[in-house]
Structure 1
């Protein structure tokens, strides 16, 4: 696979981070004073352990679900099919309320902040970007090992009844000896400590640059001067960046940072888009149920902040063309339709939302009326019914052509 990133510090980061994980974990005195080579060897071992556990169904209560079941490497560690939500649980018949997010290009995600100030030079206190950062659709955890806890213990996913149950399944699967070598012989004297070690292994694997951050798309090759966009792709990029047309780059940043860091195609912010309610999600059969993202119900610390209701994380657009499930509720299954929704949500709302008994269109039907003012109205949104959308059909075609250049593995 071609790699277009040459910054050495990026290639060293996973091992250094894994070394930090080892140092952060409780460990016996004999692990102190390790040589640099030994630290890197242990980091590599921890990453390899996390990789094997990631694909192991034995860590689930059903014995049939692994992390890779929902985060398939063939789909950029995103969902392997077009289901709005994946099935799991002890009987593999349970489903949660949200679509599976991708796991690639997450390492640059900042910790969650309600008031995020950022610039290429230094924090600019005059610009408040609002709620930003964190992992998951609502940004409620800030680290890979904290995120790994969620599916392991979720009744709708791997369905382990407790931390101790995860630890026992890891031991039964034969990982105990390796975990003791990395974290100390007394590791399993404390189930919480052992569970932390397991989740650290997952995090170490998910920070592996070659796997999760190869920066090997055609667009990366273009930025490196090793490829050229076609006419349609170049036009699509111009539309992507144009504030009066796609305006995609306002949230999905497409340029390198001044320090040369490759574009992440996200600003890591949280935003309300007014995505239509998805009847494919079982929880939505209850008309009183609403997934409000940042203000609940999964995230509980901001439930008293109505201005946050309906906000969800802005995902990276890298590898977006490999997905067949889009947005937090999986309401769309085709990339072209996603772009069409953006530009026609307000000009042609009847295409996206149901009608009320009086024939009126029920816009933003997955969000209670008191939160409709939270929905983003910046271009390409906005306009009135009957207005011309910001993009024509041919422009949508070119924009999608550009988005396809963000798929990893170009030239392989």
Structure 2
């Protein structure tokens, strides 16, 4: 059996140096917390990461060979999707929720808008099996990959033999997604003392800390928990959030709190993609019935100015996790 090779990640982003942190596997700056994912028990392996990257972009995972993970999670949109309010799948079907952005997943302990999965290795099962998304099954995927000589070789290089299993497919996909670290925005440079906020950005930062930080806790800009966003239920989708998983009435209309990083790339916003502009989101929170945010139009502009400092262009255009050539 081939010995595992830890993937060492040392990159430079916008003048901000990232060095390999403990636990080994991915690089992130000092102002980030410790990862939730246990890299000591499951270290990254360069061959597995590249296999997962290839699988992520391959339509072979879908029932009719037309949809890949990247179809709804484009690298140029911080691994979200801006063409549709809701995800699109095989046979031109439309899903029930907006495709969430994929980054900083090593700090997550639950996945999907409703937290249906608590393991990044199991998370892909939901879109793979959803009839309006990939419409497939892990068994069918194993069969298709096993018939593919190049994939058998890739599994041999990654796992020591050419056997394709569902566990290995999910492991490889997870390994790739764990490398998607967004931590090189202007905000991060400011935290590292490499840059400074403008006057308006600083005003927005102070307003953000007053009104937004409880749910969108920095530096990840999410607590990873669930909250009610105050939106009226779409009577077509009838999406009641986490309650649809737990069946608990107290979980009605609870949705996972998204990160606010890379908002310029991840519109439309909210679990159903109903808002296309940040200003619409802020107006909603300023006017909602429960716990409204008492912010003026000028203060909303200040908050937007701060939120734009969370854009990580180097992450979005990083060729190392783009389409494999």
TM over 0.5: yes
d(CA) in 2 for partners of 1:186, 1:180: 4
Alpha-carbon distance, 1:64 to partner: 1.7
Note if contact 1:218-1:407 (Cα within 8 Å) is conserved in structure 2: yes
**Is 2:142 the partner of 1:167?**
yes
Note the C-alpha offset of 1:169: 2.4
RMSD of aligned residue pairs (Cα, Å): 2.4
| Preserved CA contact (<8 Å) 1:277 1:331 | no
Equivalents in 2 of 1:48, 1:308: separation in Å? Answer: 38
How far, CA to CA, are the matches of 2:158 and 2:184 in structure 1?
A: 32
Count of aligned pairs between the two proteins: 294
Larger radius of gyration: 1
Give CA-to-partner distance per residue, 1:55-110, whole Å, 9 cap, x none: 112221222211111111101111132x2112112x1x212211111111221123
Q: Gapped runs of 5+ residues in structure 1?
A: 23-39, 111-133, 189-193, 255-262, 279-283, 347-376, 381-389
* Structure 1 counterpart of 2:191, from 192, 213, 223: 223
Q: 1:405 corresponds to which residue?
A: 309
Structure 1 partner of 2:31? none
The alpha-carbon distance between structure 1 residues 18 and 8, as it changes in their structure 2 partners (threshold 3 A), is closer
Residue 278 of structure 2: which of 331, 335, 349 is its match?
335
Cα shift at 1:53 = 1.1
Which digits, 9 at most, give the CA deviation of each residue in 1:150-203, with x for residues without a partner? 11221111111x322111222344312221343353734xxxxx0110011000
Partner of 2:177: 206
What does 1:140-179 correspond to in 2, within 5 Å?
Answer: 140-160=116-136, 162-173=137-148, 174-179=150-155
Contact persistence 2:60–2:141 (CA under 8 A): no
SS at match of 2:268: coil
CA contact (8 A) 1:47 1:201 kept: yes
CA distance in 2, matches of 1:342, 1:228: 28
CA shift, 1:406, in A, is 0.1
- SS of structure 2 residue aligned to 1:395: helix
What is the TM-score when the length of structure 1 is the normalising length? 0.66
Does the 8 Å contact 2:86/2:94 carry over to 1?
yes
| Conservation of the 8 A alpha-carbon contact between 2:185 and 2:312 | yes
SS in 1 for 2:281: helix
State the TM-score, normalized to the length of structure 2.
Answer: 0.83
Deviation at 1:393, TM superposition (A): 1.0
**Counterpart Cα distance in 2 of 1:21 and 1:325:** 34
Indicate the residue corresponding to 1:354 in structure 2: none
Unaligned runs of 5+ in 2: 1-12, 28-36, 318-325
State the match for 2:72 in structure 1.
70
Q: Is the 8 A contact 2:24 2:39 kept in 1?
A: no
Q: Secondary structure in 1 aligned to 2:300?
A: helix
Are the equivalent residues in 2 in contact too, given 1:18–1:204 (CA < 8 A)?
Answer: no
SS where residue 95 of structure 1 aligns? coil
* CA deviation after TM superposition for structure 1 residue 403, in Å: 0.4
**How many Å apart are 1:218 and its aligned residue?**
0.5
Q: In structure 2, what is the Cα distance between the partners aligned to 1:166 and 1:19?
A: 29
Alignment of 1:30-69 (within 5 A): 43-69=45-71
2: distance between equivalents of 1:4 and 1:10? Answer: 18
Q: CA deviation at 1:17?
A: 5.9
Q: CA deviation at 1:10?
A: 5.1
Matched, 1:276 2:240: no
Aligned residue in 2 for 1:320:
263
1:9 aligned to 2:21? yes
Partner of 2:208, secondary structure, is helix
